[in-house]
Structure 1
Amino acid sequence: MNAERTSTRTLLARISGPEARTLAQVLRTETVGGSLLLLAAGIALIWANTPWHDTYEAARSFVPWPGGAALGLDLDIAHWASDGLLAIFFFVIGLELKREFVSGELRNPRTAAVPIVAAVCGMIAPALVFLALTIGTDGAALRGWAIPTATDIAFALAVLAVLSSHLPTSLRAFLLTLAVVDDLLAITVIALFYTDSFHPGMLAAALVPLALFGLLVQLRKTWWWALVPLGLLAWFFVHASGVHATIAGVLLGFTVPVLARGNEPTGIAERLEHKWRPVSAGIAVPLFALFAAGVSLSGDRLASAVTDPVALGVVAGLVLGKLIGIFGSTFLLAKFTRASLDPGMSWWDLAGVALLAGIGFTVSLLIGELAFDTGDPRTDHVKTAVLAGSLLAALLASIILGARNKVYQRLEKINSD
């Protein structure tokens, strides 16, 4: 009897109507955001490889507030984009994570098990691939182990949305949930492994505005003139503590209640996510890409990147590591639990999504900046590798998922006739 129940378990089962509508809304936003992200990255690459490349570097290194040195805020534009604007991106991630754990796919342990296992293995395998290719180099190179572990949710969902006119909805839900867990793990990695100097007093001070922010939202007081200054104050103290300032965005997101009360049509988390996601996807992330993705592709620099084990480790980690980790763990989970895929899906579908998760971009570029100093040649090599690995992963995924989409399209036509 138990064996029969176990054998009928379904991996990546079809999702319900309300969840499908929520997913569709997220996909529409991320598709636009992914397109803007791609446009910004393209502008950065073109700008950095024209005769006016000096103006690109001048723009990145411009310090808009030199008088902020006393507060540690004499940051150039590139750092304001990565430390400041990306905090908005991580705030939205924090809201999304909490909503998933409270009322989404991750609230059910059985449903959440597959994407969580896939996300964890999808980070371990790329790190191991990177270490295998860089183990013989100097110790400093090993600091980049986390670069190929991240998935760029905006890019990945944008590519999937273009290809998936007939792909199963559950496949898109799996990628979204996988990317959410991946983001949580990436946040943890940044906080634990890429904090050079830590000042616990400043981090303790950040708890005060965080607590006040949380108190206001719990009381349903969403006054922007109170919440925004408290958020900025929390960001300042986290930045001063030595922990990467984007973590403040996640912590603020975690304080927001998810479930609606009384006559509220939706919870505060959903309302804030609805307001701030366009700012994140349409402004914060594209501007970060504009000032982070510009790398020279001249012959000499490209040749040095190709021979750098760090760059090779990043590309291999994003493409092979993600495929091995996500596809392999899901396949083994199915074998050991005697589960099966949803009848309307194929293992080729999952392979395509696993490759799609190899689009690292935003968080991979951020970790690359944290892993290596600005003057280190590996910084440019990492940027080149992240772009190349993400592009290759997207191309291979497009080939597989494009072919699978045609199969589902033909099946739909046959069933309708």
Structure 2
Amino acid sequence: MRRVAEKWPFRPTVRYARTLAEALRTETIGGIVMLFATVAALVWANVAYESYAALRDTKVGPEALHLHLELVKWAQNGLLTIFFFVAGLEVKEEFVHGELSNLRKAALPILAAVAGMVVPAVIYLAVSWGAPDAAKGWAIPTATDIAFALAVLAVTASAMPAALRAFLLTCAVVDDLGAITIIAIFYTDHLNLIALAVGVALIVLYGYLQHKRVKGMWIYVPLALLAWYFVEISGVHATVAGVALGLLTRVWTRDDEERSPSETADHYVRPISAGLAVPVFAFLSAGVRLDGSSLGMIFSDRVVLGVMAGLVIGKFLGVFGGAWLAVRLGLARLSEELQWRDMAAVSLLGGIGFTVSLLIGDLAYGSDPERAEAVTTGILAASLIASLLAAVLLHLRVRNRRSALDDV
């Protein structure tokens, strides 16, 4: 007897629905804050670039601990660790309580997310083939910025089904897991095995204490900071520590607990991530000059063209194509509240790369300032194009849905 494919989305638990609603609300607000931070950076960089660059490159921190870093590096290696810690919490929640708790039921967003990483990378490599150091940037267009994407969805199409937000968030969770794996494997230049071993041991200790249900922020915060430090000096990107700690945070509640440690951490840390860490990173990373020569590189540098094509075209084809393939193969079915035109509109939002794309772009081309700035400009341009295309299509979908309801 043939098994009938599960409809997506499936009915969430009360706990997951509560966590999802809080996450969506915080990330949407964070996306708007990040937009203002990005605009402020662009304005400053184009009015007084020297002062902006001086701020961004100002070094602070104890040199004896190998932490005398530029402010932009503190944002990348420090503040984004908070962002990836929240991503780790999201992944754990999704696999235990959420859409990914049943992989067969979650086939639709999983295939969409995986294809949404593979197809952009392939398109990037095809467009940039033969350009100097093109291979370094293959992962730049694989990431989606969930905060920006949710902000666009909220502003332009708040009346669309909540299932679209759940689909977007679930795809982003898988996307973040893939991104941190890519960073850990492909963007580690040197390795201090002793420091890495200490960092891993501290992370394992964190997980052990969580398993034993030990309570106390005074234990976990210093432990997390030490783990971050040793992973940072090991040569592995420090954001990997954030994801690992998030994944090891307990998601089950005890009889005497109203919330699990994961829910509590998400409640307190996500606003810091969305409202402070990511906007500060955006402010220190997005300030590029938009003069004739820099804009000209968008159309003359095949690496930049590859990034833009990967984000705008590759993400759409990958996310939409992966969802279609899941249904075509009989692994999933769309629920009655969703239509393929809705999925097409939200798939365009996948092309908003921004946060993780900017991070990978710096890891790939940080040693070449001119190329790095051109790639940043390309990411910003592609994210803007994807936002506008998605906003138009979402607006049309909202109008068509209202017309259909009026005709009933």
Asked if these proteins are the same fold (TM beyond 0.5), I'd say yes
Q: In the alignment, which residue of structure 1 is the partner of 2:108?
A: 114
2:41 and 2:215 map into 1 onto residues whose CA distance is 37
Counterpart check, 1:92 vs 2:86: yes
Alignment length, in residue pairs? 408
2:104 and 2:68 map into 1 onto residues whose CA distance is 48
Task: Look up the SS of the partner of 1:108 in the other structure.
Answer: coil
Change (3 A) 1:265 1:16: closer
Higher deviation after alignment, 18-27 or 80-89: 18-27
Q: In the alignment, which residue of structure 1 is the partner of 2:151?
A: 158
Q: CA deviation at 1:21?
A: 4.0
Q: CA deviation at 1:162?
A: 1.7
Q: In the alignment, which residue of structure 1 is the partner of 2:345?
A: 352
**CA deviations over 1:280-321 (Å, ceiling 9, x no partner):** 001100000010000010111211232100110011000100
Q: In the alignment, which residue of structure 1 is the partner of 2:74?
A: 80
2:97 and 2:179 map into 1 onto residues whose CA distance is 22
Q: Is the 8 A contact 1:14 1:170 kept in 2?
A: no
Q: CA deviation at 1:18?
A: 5.4
Q: CA deviation at 1:265?
A: 1.5
Q: In the alignment, which residue of structure 2 is the partner of 1:48?
A: 45
Q: In the alignment, which residue of structure 2 is the partner of 1:142?
A: 135
1:103 and 1:361 map into 2 onto residues whose CA distance is 28
Q: In the alignment, which residue of structure 2 is the partner of 1:212?
A: 205
Counterpart check, 1:367 vs 2:360: yes
Q: In the alignment, which residue of structure 2 is the partner of 1:293?
A: 286
Counterpart check, 1:32 vs 2:39: no
Which amino acid counterpart does residue 100 of structure 1 have in structure 2?
E
1:63 and 1:338 map into 2 onto residues whose CA distance is 52
Q: Is the 8 A contact 2:307 2:379 kept in 1?
A: yes
Q: Is the 8 A contact 2:107 2:326 kept in 1?
A: no
Gaps of 5+ in 2: none
Q: CA deviation at 1:19?
A: 4.2
1:60-75 matches, within 5 Å, as 60-65=56-61, 68-75=62-69
Task: Look up the SS of the partner of 1:10 in the other structure.
Answer: strand
Task: Look up the SS of the partner of 1:249 in the other structure.
Answer: helix
2:17 and 2:258 map into 1 onto residues whose CA distance is 18
Task: Look up the SS of the partner of 1:133 in the other structure.
Answer: helix
Q: Is the 8 A contact 1:85 1:288 kept in 2?
A: yes
1:111-260 matches, within 5 Å, as 111-138=105-132, 140-260=133-253
Task: Look up the SS of the partner of 1:357 in the other structure.
Answer: helix
Which amino acid counterpart does residue 84 of structure 1 have in structure 2?
G
Q: Aligned-residue CA RMSD in angstroms?
A: 1.8
Change (3 A) 1:340 1:290: same
Change (3 A) 1:412 1:223: farther
Task: Look up the SS of the partner of 2:100 in the other structure.
Answer: helix
Which amino acid counterpart does residue 37 of structure 1 have in structure 2?
M
Q: CA deviation at 1:411?
A: 3.8
Q: Is the 8 A contact 1:118 1:326 kept in 2?
A: yes
Q: Is the 8 A contact 1:14 1:342 kept in 2?
A: no
1:19 and 1:254 map into 2 onto residues whose CA distance is 17
Higher deviation after alignment, 352-361 or 260-269: 260-269
Task: Look up the SS of the partner of 1:302 in the other structure.
Answer: helix
Q: CA deviation at 1:336?
A: 2.4
1:344 and 1:114 map into 2 onto residues whose CA distance is 15
Under a length normalisation based on structure 2, what TM-score does the superposition of the two structures give?
Answer: 0.95
Which amino acid counterpart does residue 36 of structure 1 have in structure 2?
V
Q: CA deviation at 1:134?
A: 1.1
1:261 and 1:13 map into 2 onto residues whose CA distance is 26
Q: In the alignment, which residue of structure 1 is the partner of 2:401?
A: 408
1:342 and 1:173 map into 2 onto residues whose CA distance is 13
Q: CA deviation at 1:170?
A: 1.4
Among the aligned pairs, what percent are the same residue? Answer: 50
Q: In the alignment, which residue of structure 1 is the partner of 2:298?
A: 305
1:280 to 267, 273, 279: 273
Counterpart check, 1:23 vs 2:16: no
1:208 and 1:401 map into 2 onto residues whose CA distance is 47
Q: Is the 8 A contact 1:27 1:161 kept in 2?
A: no
Q: CA deviation at 1:20?
A: 4.0
**CA deviations over 1:161-181 (Å, ceiling 9, x no partner):** 223332122121111100000
1:115 and 1:348 map into 2 onto residues whose CA distance is 16
Under a length normalisation based on structure 1, what TM-score does the superposition of the two structures give?
Answer: 0.93
Q: Is the 8 A contact 1:319 1:393 kept in 2?
A: yes
Q: Is the 8 A contact 2:107 2:331 kept in 1?
A: no
Q: CA deviation at 1:255?
A: 1.6
Change (3 A) 1:364 1:338: closer
2:331 and 2:304 map into 1 onto residues whose CA distance is 39
Which amino acid counterpart does residue 89 of structure 2 have in structure 1?
L
